[in-house]
Structure 1
Amino acid sequence: MEKEKISSLQLFYILIGFEFGTAIILGLGAGAEQDAWIVILVSTLLSIVLMSIYVKLASFYPNMTLIEIIPKLIGKYLAYPFIYLYLTYFVYTAGRACRDFGDLIGSTILVETPIIIVIGSFMVLVIYCLRGGIEIFGRMGEIVFPIFMISLIIVWILLLSVKSIQFSNLNPILGNGVKPILKEVFPKNINFPFGETIIIMMFIPNLQNQKNAGKVGFAVILIGGILLTINSVLILSVVGPELYKIDYFPLLSATRLVSIADFLERFDALIILMMVAGVFFKVGAWMYGAAVGIAQLFNVKSKKSIILGIGTIIIPLSLLIGRDFVTHLEIAFKFLNIYVLTLMHIILPILFFCIAFIRKKVLS
């Protein structure tokens, strides 16, 4: 059966929304305090190397996803543990993104609504879209991305209007030295959000022109990194490094300081809109990657039932990840990001690339 195809621009829209996801409202690089924006910038530049590894590895095996490539590299039976590891990772990370979404919505606009209702309703939307196929998902990117960018630009303009904005909050640059920056860059900010773009390897076979995969990947890393850097600079200038470091949602806190003529206030809705859009693509991309991988592993032709099953699992999984939001974040930043994601995003892809390079260039 012929695979569904999406354009390079559609894949860019999906992945840029995926990269922003929850990252746009979280305090990236907070450990470096006023140098957080430098952390994001350096992470962006280093992540280009990672993206080149993902794209080059995919180019060695055209029309194959990561799940199909692994057995070609290390053999069918040895590949099973790694395949299961990646599929589990896709589903688990989708659950974590849903939990971020549920906690933000539950603490802002739907305070009295049970979190399971919030996440469950959101998952119905994601499942409905994905069951329509990758082409529908790509068209959603075309529709949602402009809305997301307009909302982001409006938020930035509003932040510039805040009376307490002080770009001096960015000083002193490198005031704590280089060590805090490097500590935040590797592995934390390389893994999140940039390393997560390894999901591109599950989408490349669906590209109309797979030769453009590299251009799409590099554009996502560069443009996404620059926008996240600008976002960090504005948040730091409004709330200061102290609040930026301890606040779970610093962009939301900064936006709440906006007051135009003491009349127009509480622009939380824009942040919620951006969060919904970003998490939609983040969860959707993880779910699609997991569904494709499971279908390929068990030789299932239709992914619709798999998507429904994964979505059903994600709802309770998102609630079981941590007893509260604080625990959820501690697991993410103190264990998952440092150990698990380093293995999934950096160590294994580099190992697979080296094996592929030897097989294709040295032994062939």
Structure 2
Amino acid sequence: MQQQKISALQLFYVIVGFEIGTAIILAIGAGAKQDAWLAILISMLSGLFLIGVFTQLSLYYPNDTLFSMLPKIIGKYLSYPIILIYIFYFIYLAATVCRDFGDLISSTLLVETPTFVVISSFMVLVIYCLRGGVVTFVRMGEMVFPLYIISLIILWILLLSVEDFNLNNLTPIMGNGLRPILKEVYPGIINFPFGETIIIMMFIPYLNNKQIIRKLGMIVILVGGLILTINTILVLSVLGPEIYGEKSFPLIIATKMVSIADFLERFDALVILMMVSGVFFKVGGCIFGAAVAISQLVKLNHTKSVILGLGTIISPLSLLIATNFIEYLKIAYSYFIPYLFVPLQIIVPIILLCIAFIRKKLNLGNSST
């Protein structure tokens, strides 16, 4: 896999797809009510800082993933426990995304089908793709991403036709002050989805032109953030802030309100198509990251067997993380985001960058302690 190379455009497709993935169908920023879109914009600006940290680390160590650069920055023994925690992070993130996917499909499209069957069937597809290597994965993303964007644009146009569409649902802007917005920005939206773009560090060693890493990262955050902002504005305009915050999948609810001449309806199938595409990017990226970390830790030359093992673990784990979707969201926002995501996506990368900067200044970049 080390000899495979991917283009900047392919990486752009994968990381933007990973970033907006499942976030686009969830009620992110709901606590800010009509200012949810503003919370996303502010988080996007914070995301630009984070992607700057991630890409600068990769510029210091252009041929290393996050896990292979850790021993070079903080030493072999200190890096082991951190790598183990990151492996757990990627596995948990993949499991939560699978849970989102399974709950949505089981509650809307395949009502009589067990959630485990839905998740396992999709996992087979992801594993089959990943076993072909990173190039196979990004090429699949190259095919899926345009379909994702086309479906989204069609959906946005349809939402504009809804009778209840009213931009006044976005007013008064900052009617509840700045505090509710900032509470949604941190630790929520800045970590989900913008902090999750740390996954880009797993793909950069395969990039054929590493000189554009920083520019590519900034474009990824801007495009993903603007897509989420526009989508939130449209959904809020259709549903209003109260319904937006009450529903688990507000985009689905808004889409069901689309009716053209009382004849063309049920466009929520487009949302399902987008969900499948987004989950492919997110689960695939997480499994790839965890597989690379495990292979490095136990010194394996390939990741195929590791990917297969991760797939068999993640499917049942996605159902064990909570008894229902509401409980899962509560656990995620109360515990995992502040106590796992914040350290791994914000604190640790900033510390690593500071240490790497000092080591480079002291010409110690190639040594480890």
Interval containing the TM-score (normalised by the shorter chain)? over 0.9
Other-structure match for 1:104: 104
Deviates more, 1:2-11 or 1:232-241: 2-11
| TM-score w.r.t. length of structure 1 | 0.98
- In the TM superposition, what are the counterparts of 1:114-153 in structure 2 within 5 Å? 114-153=114-153
Other-structure match for 2:235: 235
CA deviation map 1:314-358 (0-9, x unaligned): 011111110111111111112211221101110111111111111
Other-structure match for 1:273: 273
Return the alpha-carbon distance in structure 2 between the equivalents of residues 137 and 80 of structure 1. Answer: 27
Return the alpha-carbon distance in structure 2 between the equivalents of residues 328 and 79 of structure 1. Answer: 30
- Which residue identity does 1:216 align to in structure 2? L
- Which residue identity does 1:140 align to in structure 2? M
Q: SS at the partner of 1:314?
A: helix
Distance 1:324 1:176, change over 3 A: same
- In the TM superposition, what are the counterparts of 1:3-152 in structure 2 within 5 Å? 3-152=3-152
Other-structure match for 2:337: 337
Return the alpha-carbon distance in structure 2 between the equivalents of residues 360 and 38 of structure 1. Answer: 38
Other-structure match for 2:367: none
- In the TM superposition, what are the counterparts of 1:130-209 in structure 2 within 5 Å? 130-209=130-209
Give unpaired runs (5+ residues) of structure 1.
none
Q: SS at the partner of 1:265?
A: coil
- Which residue identity does 2:126 align to in structure 1? V
8 Å CA contact retained: 2:21, 2:282: yes
Deviates more, 1:335-344 or 1:197-206: 335-344
CA deviation map 1:269-297 (0-9, x unaligned): 10000000001000000000111111111
Return the alpha-carbon distance in structure 1 between the equivalents of residues 27 and 116 of structure 2. Answer: 25
Other-structure match for 1:211: 211
Return the alpha-carbon distance in structure 1 between the equivalents of residues 186 and 329 of structure 2. Answer: 18
CA shift, 1:3, in A, is: 2.3
Other-structure match for 1:257: 257
CA shift, 1:363, in A, is: 5.6
Across the aligned residues of Structure 1 and Structure 2, the Cα RMSD in angstroms comes to: 1.0
- Which residue identity does 1:255 align to in structure 2? T
Other-structure match for 1:316: 316
Give unpaired runs (5+ residues) of structure 2.
365-369
After TM superposition, where is structure 1 displaced by more than 6 Å over at least 4 residues in a row? none
8 Å CA contact retained: 2:191, 2:337: yes
Alignment: residue pair count? 364
8 Å CA contact retained: 2:102, 2:119: yes
Return the alpha-carbon distance in structure 2 between the equivalents of residues 38 and 13 of structure 1. Answer: 25
Q: SS at the partner of 1:91?
A: helix
CA deviation map 1:97-125 (0-9, x unaligned): 00100000000000000011000000000
CA shift, 1:2, in A, is: 4.4
CA deviation map 1:192-222 (0-9, x unaligned): 0000000111111010111222122111100
Give the percent of matched residue pairs that are identical in Structure 1 and Structure 2.
Answer: 61
Q: SS at the partner of 1:261?
A: coil
CA deviation map 1:212-264 (0-9, x unaligned): 22122111100000010000000000000001111100000000000100111
- The answer on 1:298 being equivalent to 2:293 is no
Return the alpha-carbon distance in structure 2 between the equivalents of residues 2 and 233 of structure 1. Answer: 42
Return the alpha-carbon distance in structure 1 between the equivalents of residues 41 and 3 of structure 2. Answer: 37
Return the alpha-carbon distance in structure 2 between the equivalents of residues 255 and 275 of structure 1. Answer: 14
| TM-score w.r.t. length of structure 2 | 0.97
Return the alpha-carbon distance in structure 1 between the equivalents of residues 338 and 32 of structure 2. Answer: 16
